[in-house]
Amino acid sequence: MKIKEFIVVEGKDDTTAIRRAVDADTIETNGSAVNQVTIEKIKRAQATRGVIIFTDPDYPGEKIRKTIAQSVPGCKHAFLTKEKALAKGSRGVGVEHASPEDIREALKDAQMMQEGLTEEITQDDLVTAGLIGGTGAKERRIRLGELLKIGYTNGKQLHKRLMMFQISKQEFASALAIVLEEEQNG
């Protein structure tokens, strides 16, 4: 599988994992302190071939994703669940631990975030759906993020990410129904 866009990853091990899964060029951020030289490289890549941001599903990975997305508009985003990014036999989490199949699936599902959109799903909708506050909210958000291919978010970020990915009320309701049905069936 050939990927036209540059894939932004955190480090060399991520590049190795990406290249095992697909034919693609990568840009490595070398950690969460993304410098201006790297941002300029990503801007050039975005202008020529496009960019997919594919960082680890942890706090530093989200920080990198946010920094790049703010500096380089129009990037696509690929996400892995923590389960798919867990190292076998250790507590490490990262793209480098994912299987080639999971990497290909995440890249296939890469989406572009949009800024400044209308609100289809309100904060109240999220509270009513049991996605913010209360028992099991985090687990529901994790599963919802998997189904909608928008990654895991905390309660505060979920509303913004739903808008940025232009998730419709119908798409949200369908995914939420699956989450609640799975929860009920245990």
CA distance 140 to 184: 12
Range(s) of the chain covered by CATH 3.40.50.140: 6-112
Q: Among candidates 77, 63, 97, 80, which has minimal Cα distance to 142?
A: 80
Range 6-112 classified under CATH 3.40.50.140: yes
C-alpha 109 chain-centroid distance: 10
51-100 pLDDT, tens digit per residue, is 999 999 988 998 999 899 999 999 999 999 888 888 777 678 899 999 99
48: tokens are 């020529």
The answer, yes or no, to whether residue 113 has pLDDT greater than 80, is no
Q: Calculate the CA dihedral of residues 120, 126, 128, 132 and round it to 10 degrees.
A: -170
